[in-house]
Structure 1
């Protein structure tokens, strides 16, 4: 019998042919245009500074924004946020971001009032009855953003800016005793910022602008007779109840302020489009989250200020509030005479407010009626 001329194929030779064919197939796959696997690029890092002390809830808001960007980019963009004074003083943030000393920052437009007083229209005053969320609506949909970009270009600020975080109406301030009439402000050493400086100066106060971390020490040393900052949580964390037991609620000096998130324009423009889109959406996500966190935290600290810190709260008399409005009208009219851009911004804001506030007042319920129905005369519910 003849033997078969074909020899058995070894397992090793079969494996070699398979691997060789697989390699050839992979080469063909690449040549056919399928994407090759590439290593991830080094993450982009940006160094920010806030205008707030570490203890302030405002610095927490800045960290919240950065965390949202870091999470949404999967770590490809990392924003580090330092507290006020880590690199530059709080009032020097805009210059530092413009020059590239910092890649960005978190603050308020009122702190840049000295550069162009029209900036304070976005943070000071009664805003013609708008709350801060309406100011953000005007900014995004009513022309405010375009006017702010125009304003920054005029003063040579090399920045990209976003407004975020609607603040509730700020307190009139902390004092040694209740302010019952406008005459009580005459000669009173008072801290505020932005166009509120002009407002309270016109009402007779001796005004000094100080960043948040310096206010309580100045009150404690007697360099100030009164001061305002922002809200129940910030004021409590900064130590206001340690130096004063009287706080006047409601005021038109800063009834609708928002935060500002700044980027150095060169650094921002160098980012890919998808990261710019993430930043824009992170700003709005942080804005909403901040407004919700504020309701929770401010309401809790409002109770603690009264029960634990023994602070007495008083509503600012209507006569003082009306005087604020009248004085504000005189201030904006005078500034509009010599500052064309100031007048343009003020008129744009006024026109938007006329229809938005009218709609809001006609549409939404009276919250005081509902509150009185359910809670008047009853202690506030405890929250964990």
Structure 2
């Protein structure tokens, strides 16, 4: 082989080696960059945020258990990255001050019902205890998430009231009892001058029926009845009522009512802190509410039925509310809605709810069996309840 050929071969070998080395350097550099890209989110995901989260419920109430259950779902779904540290009513602020504490940043999150804030705007109660239009709580939450309700909620909270809050509704509550009384309620006139506890627009309804209404947080009701400051009261359900001690101060439990034919929880967050969260944690807060809607309703069916039987064993007379009282409640709702709908935003929400109910309930009433048919089926298999 000539010297020229040998030099050419050496040059070619060096060029090939240089290309391989350059390729290796490029691949190593790309791999390092890729590893860095993967590593950054992993560092972010390793960080944990703990939020102070207070309910508006006494620690022994089933509703506080529901607040704990929502936090448990968030904590587990987030893998511990977002932890809701649950506190009962009064741990940081009294129940009716919870919303102010969240929006100011004293608390990061809270669990309650919209009816508690209707003093800030009467329309607030429409997102917690709307009128009994012939719908149920499932339909109400359907309106909120798929019928324009959520946009109206944000308009009220953020645009009208300028609150530093964001939130979700969840848990389609069954119809609430009329409440606890010293004697059986037989006519609408039995409400005349009765000192009665309720919240939200229900207060306006019972005022129209002649009651002297007092608004109190859950943990304050039974002590007020025990001292004679109240003649009667409603709260929400048999489990809450027996735990709070209603059977100790009253022996007539009237069940069925139009005053709060449905309700839902509201879980709220400081808006600035919520907006600072990664997108996946925001999604977890939202979808945990939807998961809790189902789970909490399922175990409430079980608990409410058992606790109603326990109430009966305490010597309490459980009585269905007469139709005459139910009709009087609807007439009272007519007057309340006419008066409050003079305010444009209130009317805007009512119009939206009515449109939803009229459209969606047309199908449900055509297809679903009414309560009388369901009662007949129950009697067929089990006899009288």
Superposed pair shares fold, TM > 0.5: yes
Q: Out of 134, 141, 144, which is 1:139 matched to?
A: 144
Query: Residue 156 of structure 1: CA displacement?
Result: 1.6
- The DSSP-based 3-state class of the residue aligned with 1:162 is strand
Residue of structure 2 in register with 1:20 after alignment: none
Query: Residue 42 of structure 1: CA displacement?
Result: 2.7
Q: Is the 8 A contact 1:127 1:349 kept in 2?
A: no
Residue of structure 2 in register with 1:198 after alignment: 204
Q: How many residues align?
A: 353
Query: Residue 158 of structure 1: CA displacement?
Result: 0.9
> Residues 308-330 of structure 1: CA distance to partner in whole angstroms, max 9, x if unpaired?
x1211111111111111011011
- The DSSP-based 3-state class of the residue aligned with 1:128 is coil
Distance 1:372 1:73 in 2: 46
Query: Residue 181 of structure 1: CA displacement?
Result: 0.9
In the alignment, structure 1 residue 33 sits paired with structure 2 residue 40: no
- The DSSP-based 3-state class of the residue aligned with 2:34 is coil
Q: Out of 165, 174, 179, which is 2:171 matched to?
A: 165
Distance 2:173 2:197 in 1: 19
Residue of structure 2 in register with 1:3 after alignment: none
Query: Residue 244 of structure 1: CA displacement?
Result: 0.8
Query: Residue 129 of structure 1: CA displacement?
Result: 0.9
Query: Residue 355 of structure 1: CA displacement?
Result: 2.0
Structure 2 gaps of 5+ residues are 1-24
Q: Out of 76, 83, 86, which is 1:81 matched to?
A: 86
Q: Is the 8 A contact 2:129 2:261 kept in 1?
A: yes
Residue of structure 1 in register with 2:7 after alignment: none
Query: Residue 31 of structure 1: CA displacement?
Result: 3.1
> Residues 176-226 of structure 1: CA distance to partner in whole angstroms, max 9, x if unpaired?
000111111111100000011111111111100000000000000100000
Query: Residue 30 of structure 1: CA displacement?
Result: 4.3
Q: Is the 8 A contact 1:158 1:264 kept in 2?
A: yes
In the alignment, structure 1 residue 69 sits paired with structure 2 residue 79: no
In the alignment, structure 1 residue 269 sits paired with structure 2 residue 270: no
More helix by share: 2
> Residues 119-168 of structure 1: CA distance to partner in whole angstroms, max 9, x if unpaired?
11122353311111110000001111100110112112111110001111
Q: Is the 8 A contact 1:170 1:230 kept in 2?
A: yes
> Residues 221-271 of structure 1: CA distance to partner in whole angstroms, max 9, x if unpaired?
100000000000000100000111111111111001100000100010000
- The DSSP-based 3-state class of the residue aligned with 1:34 is helix
Distance 2:140 2:278 in 1: 29
Distance 2:228 2:269 in 1: 38
Structure 1 gaps of 5+ residues are 1-23, 379-384
Residue of structure 2 in register with 1:279 after alignment: 285
Distance 1:231 1:118 in 2: 24
- The DSSP-based 3-state class of the residue aligned with 1:179 is coil
Larger mean CA deviation between 53-62 and 28-37 belongs to 28-37
Per the normalisation by structure 1, the TM-score is 0.89
Distance 1:226 1:352 in 2: 34
Distance 2:280 2:384 in 1: 53
Residue of structure 2 in register with 1:336 after alignment: 341
Distance 1:32 1:353 in 2: 56
In the alignment, structure 1 residue 373 sits paired with structure 2 residue 380: yes
Distance 1:328 1:65 in 2: 33
Distance 2:34 2:179 in 1: 67
> Residues 96-136 of structure 1: CA distance to partner in whole angstroms, max 9, x if unpaired?
11111110100000000100001111223533111111100
Distance 1:377 1:150 in 2: 47
Residue of structure 2 in register with 1:253 after alignment: 259
Within 5 Å, which residues of 2 pair with 1:1-384?
A: 30-31=31-32, 33-35=34-36, 41-153=46-158, 154-307=160-313, 309-337=314-342, 339-365=343-369, 366-377=373-384
Distance 1:82 1:325 in 2: 38
Q: Is the 8 A contact 1:170 1:249 kept in 2?
A: yes
> Residues 34-64 of structure 1: CA distance to partner in whole angstroms, max 9, x if unpaired?
3565656330111110000000000000000
Query: For the aligned residues, what is the CA RMSD?
Result: 1.7
Distance 1:243 1:31 in 2: 72
Distance 1:68 1:331 in 2: 38
Distance 1:268 1:125 in 2: 27
- The DSSP-based 3-state class of the residue aligned with 1:254 is coil
